């Protein structure tokens, strides 16, 4: 398996991102803490391997906070997600952010562990937040990974 590289999202990536969002997130939008994001409109990074896109991270900078809005690795276990997080962290530092953070759902135990292994700490549990998000994005399923009911948003953060 070849090495991968990380580069900023470009205009040519927008349709691929929109398609990936529908395939992996159920719609072109993501809802985080009640805020609606269109994945293809956000800045971020693409991971490429052998000329193929194999990862995506989108982010939103607001003041001193940098939120990782989406993170997708299409080839797990080779460091793509970690490299994308490193790129987001550097972008946040360059922008003068003091905090890098993300939201995941309570069923996504893999992402909760992944984040903690990379220096993120549990910051908050937003109980019942998914009921509000479903009003905006009804594609959010009731049952998630390993049959766990999706109810809550889990916030993880890294102080920079």
pLDDT in tens, 111-132: 999 999 999 999 999 999 999 9
- pLDDT recorded at residue 2: 60
Mean pLDDT, all residues of the chain: 95
The residue length of the chain stands at: 160
Residues 6+ apart with CB under 8 A from 99: 64, 65, 66, 92, 157, 158, 159, 160
CATH number at residue 21: 3.40.630.30
DSSP 90: H
If one counts the domains in the chain, the total is 1
Distance of CA 87 to the CA centre of its chain: 13
- pLDDT recorded at residue 98: 98
Contact 154, 107 (CB under 8 A): no
16: pLDDT strictly greater than 60: yes
21-64: pLDDT as tens digits: 999 998 999 999 989 999 999 999 999 999 999 999 999 999 99
Residue with tokens 């693409």: 46
Residue with tokens 């984040």: 115
Closest CA to 58 of 109, 9, 130: 9
Closest CA to 10 of 60, 56, 67: 56
- pLDDT recorded at residue 103: 97
Q: Which domain holds residue 152?
A: 4-159
């Amino acid at each position: 398996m070849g090495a991968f590289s990380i580069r900023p999202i470009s205009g040519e990536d927008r349709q691929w991102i929109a398609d990936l969002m529908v395939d992996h997130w159920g719609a072109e939008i993501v809802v985080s803490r009640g805020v609606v994001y269109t994945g293809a409109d956000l800045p971020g990074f693409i991971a490429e391997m052998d000329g193929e896109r194999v990862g995506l991270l989108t982010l939103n900078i607001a003041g001193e906070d940098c939120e990782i809005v989406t993170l997708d690795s299409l080839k797990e276990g080779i460091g793509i997600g970690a490299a994308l997080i490193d790129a987001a962290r550097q972008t946040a530092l360059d922008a003068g952010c003091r905090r890098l953070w993300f939201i995941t759902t309570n069923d996504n135990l893999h992402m909760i562990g992944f984040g903690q292994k990379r220096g993120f700490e549990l910051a908050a549990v937003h109980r019942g937040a998914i009921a509000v998000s479903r009003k905006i994005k009804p594609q959010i399923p009731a049952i998630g990974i390993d049959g766990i009911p999706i109810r809550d948003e889990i916030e993880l953060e890294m102080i920079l």
